Structure 1
Amino acid sequence: MQPEGSNGTSDGGLAVPMAWLYAEYIADELLRTGRLIPVSTLEFRAGRDTLALTIYLSDAAGELSGIRVVSQLDEWLSLTAYGHPWRDWVHTRFLALGEEARERGDGGDPDLELARAAWRWLDSTELFATNLDPGRPDHTDIPPGLDENARVWTPAWQLGLPLGHLAMHLF
Structure 2
Amino acid sequence: MRPEEHDETGDGLLVPMAWMYAEYVADGLLETGDLMEPTTLEYRAGRDALALTLFLSEGPVAGALPAARVDELRLLTASGAAWQRWVGARLDARRRGSAPGADPDLALARAAWRWLEETELLAADLEALGASPRGQAGYEGEDGERRVWTPAWRLGLPLGHLAIHLY
Do the two structures share a fold, i.e. TM-score over 0.5? yes
Asked whether the equivalents of residues 118 and 151 of structure 2 are also in contact (C-alpha less than 8 Å), the reply is yes
Shift of 1:95: 1.1
Look up the SS of the partner of 2:79 in the other structure.
Answer: coil
The code of the aligned residue for 1:37 comes to M
- SS of 1:128's partner is strand
Q: Counterpart in 2 of 1:111?
A: 105
Q: Per-residue deviation at 1:14?
A: 1.4
Q: Does 1:21 align with 2:20?
A: yes
- Give the partner amino acid of 2:4: G
Give 2:149's aligned residue: 153
Quote the residue 2:46 is aligned against. 47
Structure 1 runs (4+) greater than 3 angstroms displaced: none
1:84 deviates by 5.2
Q: Is the 8 A contact 1:131 1:152 kept in 2?
A: yes
What TM-score do the two structures reach when normalised by structure 2?
0.82
Shift of 1:141: 2.8
TM-score w.r.t. structure 1 length?
0.80
Unaligned runs of 5+ in 1: 1-5, 143-147
Letter in 2 for 1:8: E
SS state at 1:55 partner? helix
The RMSD of aligned alpha carbons is 2.4
The answer (yes or no) to whether the contact 2:80–2:154 under 8 Å persists in 1 is: no
Aligned residue type for 2:105: D
Question: Counterparts of 1:28 and 1:12 in 2: how far apart (Å)?
Answer: 31
Shift of 1:156: 0.3
Written as runs of structure 1 = structure 2, the 5 A alignment for 1:83-98 is 85-98=82-95
Identity fraction in percent = 52
| 1:3 equivalent in structure 2 | none
Matched, 1:167 2:157: no
User: How many residues matched?
Assistant: 154
1:141 aligns with 2:134: yes
Distance 1:40 1:163 in 2: 15
3-state SS of paired residue (1:22) = helix
CA–CA distance in structure 2, aligned partners of residues 46 and 83 of structure 1: 13
Distance between the aligned counterparts of 2:73 and 2:13, measured in 1? 31
Following superposition, the deviation at residue 140 of structure 1 comes to 4.2
For 1:7 and 1:163, the matched residues in 2 are separated by 28
Quick one: distance in 2 between partners of 1:99 and 1:83? 24
